[in-house]
Structure formats: C-alpha cells, structure tokens
Chains A and B, each alone.
Chain A
C-alpha cells in the first residue's frame, strides 16, 4: 500500500489563483518531499521538509507538515500555466533508506 496519499487527485484552476494539495501518510518519517512531473517526464525535486519542521518556503511554494496528523500540504501561490503538472509527495520512512511516493495530484492551470 502507498505510504503517501494525495488529495485531491486532480485540480483545475485559473492562472493567478493559488493551488493547494494535501498528502497523508501512515508511518513515522524523517523527511517528506514534494516532486513535480510534467507529462510523461522524469520527476523533479521541489522541496524537502524535515519531521521537526512545520513550514517551509521556496519561491512560490509553501509546504506545511503536521506530524501529529501525519499530513502535509503544498501550496503554489500565483499559479502560472507552466505549473501544470502532477505533484507527488514522498516519504522516507523511519529506516530512511527508501522513498515511497503517493499517487499524485494532477494540476491544470488554465491561462
């Protein structure tokens, strides 16, 4: 079973709006990461948040982590058409030797 589950599965917004997606996981983690995938291409690492951090920013990205609820959120502010992609969360688990990915959220940003 997947460690991370993203919600929603798909999201459609207008350019300039914010996009928020959530990730829930099941077991203890050291780190949680978010990746982006443009259609059929390799994933690109966006941001990593450690289990002792609650919030992290990188450009237009804001990630939160709530370890008590085993959940994380990714916010993309002022979205652009180029943000159209699938977004995946990934957790490393307590052993820290492998990543487990969620099913992803497909984001469509309409111009």
Chain B
C-alpha cells in the first residue's frame, strides 16, 4: 500500500531535549516536505527536499533541521525544542511539488 508514515504519532517532551520525527515513503517520490499546522495559521512549510541530498528552507525553518540521505526518508530534527514548537506536524511526498501525499501527522507538545 502506497503510504507516508510518521513516527511518533504523539510526543510530549520538555524544553531543550533533542528529538527526531521520522518520515518514510514507499512510493519512490523525489519530493518530500515538512509542514506544521497551527490553529488560525493553516499549514506552513518548514523544509522541503527535491531529491537526495537536496534540501531547502520553507517559510518557517527556524529551530528545525532536516536531512535527506536516502530517497525514502526525510527526518525532522528539533535540536532544542521550545514551547512555541508545540504543533501538529505533517510530512508529505510527491513525484513533483504537486499532488502531495500526506502522512497521518505527529502531534508534538513541548513543555
């Protein structure tokens, strides 16, 4: 089954404790992206990747890192999480930038 998976689905952590949210897709897509969704602000893009070893900043990259060492994986790293990073995070993939397939989401709470 074609899908985008994210782990963990739910995470409660404390300020400053490094964490990684994994994202994996099985559709051989070149394009992958991370978004955060906050009430009243819609979806905002954090980082995107056009292919392996090619990443670029989205609209809200501060406080986040990504890597794309393999085509199927695109982890999101929060080196020192802060409460303003409490949000619902989505990973997405597609062959081009269009018609993106979204993962189920990761709900992150930073205390």
Contacts and interface: CB of A to CB of B under 8 A. Distances in A.
B99 A45 contact: yes
A92 B97 contact: yes
A102 B97 CA distance: 16
B48 interface: yes
Given A2-B42, A41-B105, A98 B58 contact: yes
Given A48-B98, A98-B48, A99-B33, A42 B43 contact: no
Interface string A28-47: 00010100000011111100
14 contacts: A33-B99, A42-B102, A44-B102, A45-B99, A88-B43, A92-B97, A92-B98, A98-B45, A98-B56, A100-B45, A100-B59, A101-B44, A102-B42, A103-B42
A44 B90 CA distance: 12
Interface residues of B, number: 27
B103 interface: yes
Interface in A82-111: 88, 92, 96-104
Per DSSP, are chain A's interface residues mostly helix, strand or loop, or mixed?
A: loop
Given A31-B98, A96-B97, A98-B33, A43 B90 contact: yes
Nearest to A4: B42
Per DSSP, are chain B's interface residues mostly helix, strand or loop, or mixed?
A: strand
Contacts of B105: 40-42
Nearest to B50: A97
Contacts of B58: 98
B98 A33 contact: yes
A100 B42 CA distance: 10
B51 to A, nearest CB: 11
Given A97-B50, A101-B42, A104-B42, A43 B102 contact: yes
Contacts of B4: 42
Contact of B104 (A41, A48, A92, A97): A41
Contacts of B44: 101
Given A43-B90, A97-B48, A103 B102 contact: no
